[in-house]
Amino acid sequence: MRRESGVFDVNYVQDMKIFRTKYHVIGMIALIAFFLSLPFFKNQFWLTFINSTAVTIIALQGLNILSGYCGQISIGHTAFMAVGAYSSTILAAQFGLPLWFCMIIGALCAGLIGILFGLPSLRVKGYYLALTTIAAQFIIIYLIKTPFPEITGGAIALQVPEFTLGGFKFETETHFYYLIITLLIMTTFFSKGVLRSKFGRAFIAIRDNDIAAEAMGINLYKYKLLAFFLGCFYAGFAGALWAAYARVISPDDFTLMNSIWQMGMLIIGGLGSTLGPFFGALFIKLLNEICLVAGPFISSIIPQIGAQISASLVEMSFGVAIILFLAFEPRGIAHRWEILKDSYRLWPFSY
Amino acid sequence: MQTFIQLFITGVTVGCIYGLIAVGFVLIYKSSQIFNFAQGEMVMVGAYLMWVVLGYFNMPVWLGMLVVFFVVSLAGYGLERFPLRQMIGQPVLATIMVTMGIAVFLRGLAILLWSEKIGIKFPAIITETTINIFGIPFSNVSFWSLVFVLFLVLALSWFFLYSRTGLHMRAAAENHQLAQSMGIRVTLAIAQSWAIAAIVSATGGFLLGYMRGIDFGLAEIGLIAMAAALVGGLESFKGAILGGVIMGVAEALTGGYIGHGLKEVIPYIIMVLVLIYKPYGLFGLEKIERV
């Protein structure tokens, strides 16, 4: 990564800085101010869009820790979102605890169950681990659907209690917008902090070669399970947040397909990069919106093409996007963004 | 006892089809070390293609099968050229997601083409009767599909053991570089394995669709077949068939005695247990890893 001309790191503290120059700080403040001012434009569509995208980004950050940094492939990520969503809702509904507290407990539950399903990662990896996490997806959703329908609501939807914080009721899209954006900023800084600490370096070592990492003195059990805990904690938190925002959850919100979509978003955004989840979620969600607009348009031109054109376009464009990215830019949009920044900094020279 | 035997036989019949699809899966894994997560969607699309030729164009069964086999094997060749050739030597996650991308694409295609035809049935090919074998009533449809699957598996085994192409494919599966240096086109061998896997999946989709109707749920068979292949050990055809039978019997028994909910997850529970206690399956090769 190239630096701006004239910016040198003369000690380690400087080397680890997130905000390197005052332009970084100004840019970040401007970006946050822009997002905080968005509700004043009163555009309900974009608020809803950003809310759902931001919740997805929080879940993707967990997946990024687990798969992008620690290299433990997980294709059952939405199941852990379901664990967070359901456990927080059930706690709040059955015991009358405040929902914000239940959200944290729900995220912890998801993390602990993540450790449980991370246990096979100590013996198997690669494809086998991917299949174990797929199994986790099916088993968790089965446990939600079938054995205790009077508590979990079974296959039908479950109502979520109102979200209040210090006597303030979160009701409108705008209220949730501020809540979600604040939480997104917090989770981003937390994950960035974890990943540039000792833990993050251990994760990267395990991803690159776990046997070599073990030989270097990294405790594989501890760090793999820690990665599972963190990744699933994020997922559970995102799930609980989604439950509080959507006010109604059902097992159909957390299918294997959604897990595949999340992994695809992360790959398109860029694995192992803080910006990856942002780019990936935005790219795919925007692509979806475009398909939803283009679908009726296409079917108005060619009427015999059928009513499901939008749904089919959404799926097909996602499949093609994943394949094209993996074939031509496996490091995702985040890598392109780095290249763009580099060439901007070096302009007008090309080296 | 009567119900047990009946459930068991249903399980074996369905399990053999799972095993057949698992063979397609093992084939691709052996030749290119790629887990084909699109197997289920290939089954589903194959079943719909069979329906198109049999139910829409009213072809006789043998001709329809030939046409479908030709089309899906062409598709298999095409898939090898792009995007799977680009995936040789890529990390595991990339190969997983590429096949998942294919799966999602095929699903979108199926929604586009056949979304109004969920739950359709094939036109009847044989009249359904019950035959008694050792005093156990047995639907003749499942009997003939069992026979057909066994025939296909034997034919595939013969193909791999004795034909020249099969020999090439086995060599390519063993070691890409070594095979290449002996004058075998590895990319062609991989393409052939994709084509055969596509044919096998289409056949499995046809048989299963004939028994229980065609819908998008057929795509979930792919994951069950994958679990079956894992239980059997990824390198072994007989392991794949045996794993498929185990999955089919377990499904039928839990569905019959416990409930429908558990039936859907029992293959995955078995798979996780096998992965924890015997990670390389019943007949798989244990890998020793070095840095």
DSSP letters, A16-54, are T-S--SHHHHHHHHHHHHHHHHGGGG--HHHHHHHHHHH
Chain A neighbors of B272, CB-CB under 8 A: 120, 132, 135, 139
pLDDT for residue A2? 65
pLDDT for residue A286? 95
Which of A30-39, A293-302, A342-351, B215-224 has the lowest average pLDDT? A342-351
Closest by CA to B88, choosing from B132, B32, B170, is B32
Instruction: Kindly tell me if the per-residue pLDDT of A345 is higher than 90.
Output: no
User: Cβ of B275 and A128 within 8 Å?
Assistant: yes
B202 alpha carbon, distance to own chain's centre: 8
Mean pLDDT of B73-86: 89
Place of tokens 């994709």: B194
Domain ranges of chain B: 23-123+173-277
| DSSP codes of every residue in A152-206 | H-TTS-EE-PPPEETTEE--SHHHHHHHHHHHHHHHHHHHHHHHTSHHHHHHHHH
Chain B neighbors of A142, CB-CB under 8 A: 261-262, 264-265
pLDDT for residue B218? 86
Place of tokens 């990943």: A195
pLDDT for residue A320? 94
Cβ atoms of B277 and B32 within 8 Å: the answer is no
Work out the angle between the directed axes of helices A198-208 and A220-246 (0-180°, nearest 10).
Answer: 110
- Which helix (H) or strand (E) covers residue B132, if one does? strand B130-133
Place of tokens 């938190």: A237
Using CA atoms in the order B217, B219, B222, B223, what is the torsion angle rounded to 10 degrees?
Answer: -60
Over chain B, what is the mean pLDDT? 86
Query: Judging by beta carbons within 10 Å of its beta carbon (0-12, 13-18, 19+), is residue B126 exposed, middle or buried?
Result: exposed
Cβ atoms of B43 and B50 within 8 Å: the answer is no
Instruction: Kindly tell me if the per-residue pLDDT of B169 is higher than 80.
Output: yes
Looking at domain A42-346, which CATH architecture does it have? Orthogonal Bundle (1.10)
B88 contacts chain A (CB < 8 A): no
| Alpha carbon distances (Å) from A240 to A152, A229, A275 | 14, 16, 23
Place of tokens 């020793």: B288
- What is the phi/psi pair of residue B139, to 5°? -65, 135
On whether ipTM exceeds 0.85, the answer is: yes
B104 contacts chain A (CB < 8 A): yes
Mean pLDDT of B180-204: 91
Closest by CA to A252, choosing from A155, A110, A160, is A155
Rg (CA), chain A: 21
Chain B neighbors of A271, CB-CB under 8 A: 93
A138 contacts chain B (CB < 8 A): yes
A149 contacts chain B (CB < 8 A): no
Chain A neighbors of B289, CB-CB under 8 A: 211
Report the first-to-last Cα separation within chain B, whole angstroms.
54
Which of A180-184, A262-266, B13-17, B233-237 has the lowest average pLDDT? B233-237
pLDDT for residue B143? 82
3-state secondary structure of A245: helix
Dihedral sign for Cα atoms in the order B2, B4, B6, B9: negative
Mean pLDDT of B234-240: 83
Cβ atoms of A205 and A216 within 8 Å: the answer is yes
| Rounded-to-5 percentages of helix, strand, coil across chain A | 75, 0, 25
B81 contacts chain A (CB < 8 A): no
Chain B neighbors of A211, CB-CB under 8 A: 289-291
pLDDT for residue B90? 83
pLDDT for residue A351? 61
| Alpha carbon distances (Å) from B55 to A82, A342, B80, B127, B200 | 41, 59, 30, 16, 20
Instruction: Kindly tell me if the per-residue pLDDT of B249 is higher than 90.
Output: yes
User: Cβ of B112 and A314 within 8 Å?
Assistant: no
Mean pLDDT of B144-171: 87
3-state secondary structure of B121: coil
Q: Amino acid identity, residue B43?
A: V
Dihedral sign for Cα atoms in the order B269, B273, B275, B280: negative
Confidence of residue A280 (pLDDT cuts 50, 70, 90): very high
Cβ atoms of B204 and B21 within 8 Å: the answer is yes
Among partner residues B98, B109, B269, which is closest to A326 by beta-carbon distance?
B98
Among partner residues A73, A323, A330, which is closest to B102 by beta-carbon distance?
A323
Distance CA A228, CA A120 (A): 11
Which B residues in the span 31-70 are in contact with A, Cβ-Cβ below 8 Å? 35
Distance CA A324, CA B141 (A): 43
pLDDT for residue B144? 85
Which A residues in the span 157-196 are in contact with B, Cβ-Cβ below 8 Å? none
Confidence of residue B250 (pLDDT cuts 50, 70, 90): very high
- Which helix (H) or strand (E) covers residue B139, if one does? strand B136-139
- Give Cβ neighbours of residue B119 (< 8 Å, ≥ 6 apart): B213, B214, B215
Which A residues in the span 298-337 are in contact with B, Cβ-Cβ below 8 Å? 305-309, 311-323, 326-327, 330
Please give the residue that has the higher pLDDT: either B236 or A76: A76
Chain A neighbors of B265, CB-CB under 8 A: 138-139, 142
Confidence of residue A230 (pLDDT cuts 50, 70, 90): very high
Closest by CA to B210, choosing from B139, B281, B130, B290, is B139
Chain A neighbors of B269, CB-CB under 8 A: 135, 139
- Which helix (H) or strand (E) covers residue B130, if one does? strand B130-133
Which of A219-233, A262-276, B114-128, B253-267 has the lowest average pLDDT? B114-128
pLDDT for residue A212? 92
**Residue A65 structure tokens:** 């820790």
Instruction: Give tens-digit pLDDT for A20-35.
Output: 788 889 999 999 999 8
Distance CA A105, CA A113 (A): 12
User: Cβ of A326 and B90 within 8 Å?
Assistant: yes
